[in-house]
Structure 1
Amino acid sequence: MRYFCYALLVFILVGCAATKYVPSKINGVSFVAAGNAVDSTHTQPVANIYANAAAVMPFGFIRDKSHPEIIHSTNRQWFGETKAGVKQYIEALRKHDMAIMIKPQLWLRHGEFTGFLKMESEANWKILEETYSSFILKFAELAQETNAEVFCIGTELEEFIKNRPDYWHNLIKEIRTIYKGKLTYAANWDEFWRTSFWAELDYIGIDAYFPVSDMQTPTVEDCIKGWEKHKPGLKEFSETLDRPILFTEFGYRSVDYTGKEPWRYDRSMTSVNLEAQNNATQALFNAVWKEDWFAGGYLWKWFIDHDRVGGLENNQFTPQNKPVEEIIKAHYKVN
């Protein structure tokens, strides 16, 4: 009997060792900040689509390039954009066993693209760096306090990173002294190739608005074909750096030509095309999700008042109360 048990144990161990471990994917949503605290009525819809992770996004604000001081954690901000709000959101999401990414972001006045943020004097660079450190380290402390699984050190800041590389290398070192979890950075889809510090982080983070189709109503097949133009480079990049790729944002508007320039959010695009959103989303799942180099991602974007947002007349990114919500639910349930 002892020999049989020993032989069985050896068989199990050898069998397990021979099977490649494949970690579960991050099936996440970008949980948008609001002016109030959240409760189960706000978080249950996230659990209902079988999401296992959520990005919580505090904001800092910059008036303009001539006034580079980052304003953050003030009583003039929405509750969900502050440290207290982020902590409360995390506590509510944890009740559904959600893994958490804290993803601090900047907002430039008039919605200017943060990737172009570039100072014109050394004095202004210093102000930007000092106030960015204050902003980001505050939330690194919160990430450690709340045991957040992932912390994102910045979002779409190409010019800032390109012009001040020493600052970013030193900032990462300082964050590591505070926060002991996984680090990433959310690079724009056409920026990540040039980001210099991936080897110092745990995930290659990409806001994945890759163009995949020029069709007005893209088919699943055409979008998959479009992904084949990007996947070899992503795979090679991941393998070269020995880091998995994480889509820190992904998603498509329910609008005509949604796969052509997926990053566009301007109001000049007025059509409503639910089928386009369905097909582009399904194609991303089919083309990318099971790849070994891919860690998962966070859907852009999910608002807290589920019953009041999205819907069949909405042409923005949110999948809420649209047919694509069922596609996401079906995919997240089994992956």
Structure 2
Amino acid sequence: MVSYAKSIGLQVILKPMLNVSDGTWRAHINFFDHDVPCEPKWSDWFKAYTEFIVYYAKLAEESQSDMFVIGCEMVNTDRREQEWRDLIKEVRSHYSGPITYNCDKYQEDHVTWWDAVDVISSSAYYPIHTWDEQLPRIEKVVKEHNKPFFFCEAGCPSREGSKLLPNDWALKGQIDLSEQEDWYRNMFKHTSKEPWIQGFGLWDWKALLYPIDKAEHDTDYALYGKPAEKVVFDYYTSVEREAKSVS
């Protein structure tokens, strides 16, 4: 898939994502701060996780992926600074391209090891009315570390109430395509004013698409066939047009 994407002129970010088998969100993976006998240990977990990530780091190098993401939204692991620094050092011995860590929303100013990665990134699941509050906070982190920044994930389901809680994939609500459309339009409106935001990983575009006539019944994050898809298309078309006019 990486080879095919690159053959048609796309750049590729390889992002292995860890999920828990019982459905627990990866942000809640946690152990005692200090290793103790007969209990699960951070040392064991990071040993296993490093093996997992290094496997994909080698694949990223082999496939000449343009960026590698070493982790996603693992909030309780973020405080384990030395383990992450050790993991990053190991990854760099196998992958020569830029690396980033995709921290969770609200966590941008809590990660203490941004200096060890090449790019800062986070998940932009912010309520529709909070961009003016969140962007200045994130900008301070970006300026402090003088690193490129992008939103590695950004998206909103198409159901009632989702634009106020876009991170809640289990939120109960009826189909409402306008919620997703409004959220995307508002996100682009605010982020387009900030030149330090260099891109988005839009969540999501399914590998197996539903029939387009089923789009109006889909309450998930998918964009295909929904009004939000046109918002995205129009935004990137305008960005491309502006870039050409500048050049």
Same fold at TM > 0.5: yes
Is the CA contact 2:71–2:101 (under 8 Å) kept in the aligned structure 1? Answer: yes
Is the CA contact 1:188–1:206 (under 8 Å) kept in the aligned structure 2? Answer: yes
User: Partner amino acid for 1:277?
Assistant: Q
Indicate the residue corresponding to 2:140 in structure 1.
236
Is the CA contact 2:128–2:187 (under 8 Å) kept in the aligned structure 1? Answer: no
More strand by share: 1
1:303 alignment partner, one of 190, 193, 206: 206
Is the CA contact 1:289–1:296 (under 8 Å) kept in the aligned structure 2? Answer: no
Indicate the residue corresponding to 2:182 in structure 1.
279
2:152 alignment partner, one of 248, 265, 269: 248
2:22 alignment partner, one of 84, 93, 110: 110
> Helix, strand or coil for the counterpart of 2:203?
strand
Indicate the residue corresponding to 1:312 in structure 2.
216
Unaligned runs of 5+ in 2: 240-247
Displacement after TM superposition at 1:290 (Å)? 4.6
Displacement after TM superposition at 1:131 (Å)? 1.1
Matched, 1:176 2:105: no
> Helix, strand or coil for the counterpart of 1:111?
coil
> Helix, strand or coil for the counterpart of 1:99?
coil
Distance 2:202 2:78 in 1: 25
Matched, 1:146 2:63: yes
Distance 1:189 1:178 in 2: 29
Is the CA contact 1:117–1:160 (under 8 Å) kept in the aligned structure 2? Answer: yes
Displacement after TM superposition at 1:134 (Å)? 0.8
Is the CA contact 2:205–2:222 (under 8 Å) kept in the aligned structure 1? Answer: yes
> Helix, strand or coil for the counterpart of 1:277?
helix
User: Partner amino acid for 2:41?
Assistant: N
TM-score by length of 1: 0.66
1:197 alignment partner, one of 98, 101, 113: 113
Indicate the residue corresponding to 1:13 in structure 2.
none
Q: How many equivalent residue pairs?
A: 233
Distance 1:317 1:172 in 2: 31
Is the CA contact 2:163–2:183 (under 8 Å) kept in the aligned structure 1? Answer: yes
User: Partner amino acid for 2:161?
Assistant: Y
1:88-127 to structure 2, matched below 5 A, reads: 89-120=1-32, 121-122=35-36, 124-127=41-44
CA deviations over 1:4-51 (Å, ceiling 9, x no partner):
xxxxxxxxxxxxxxxxxxxxxxxxxxxxxxxxxxxxxxxxxxxxxxxx
Displacement after TM superposition at 1:328 (Å)? 1.0
1:44-55 to structure 2, matched below 5 A, reads: none
> Helix, strand or coil for the counterpart of 1:110?
coil
Displacement after TM superposition at 1:127 (Å)? 2.3
Displacement after TM superposition at 1:209 (Å)? 0.8
Indicate the residue corresponding to 2:76 in structure 1.
159
Displacement after TM superposition at 1:307 (Å)? 4.6
Matched, 1:321 2:225: yes
Matched, 1:209 2:113: no
Displacement after TM superposition at 1:306 (Å)? 2.7
Displacement after TM superposition at 1:125 (Å)? 2.3
TM-score by length of 2: 0.88
Q: CA RMSD in A?
A: 1.7
Displacement after TM superposition at 1:285 (Å)? 1.0
CA deviations over 1:130-189 (Å, ceiling 9, x no partner):
111111001111111111111001011121231x32111111111112211111101000
Displacement after TM superposition at 1:300 (Å)? 0.4
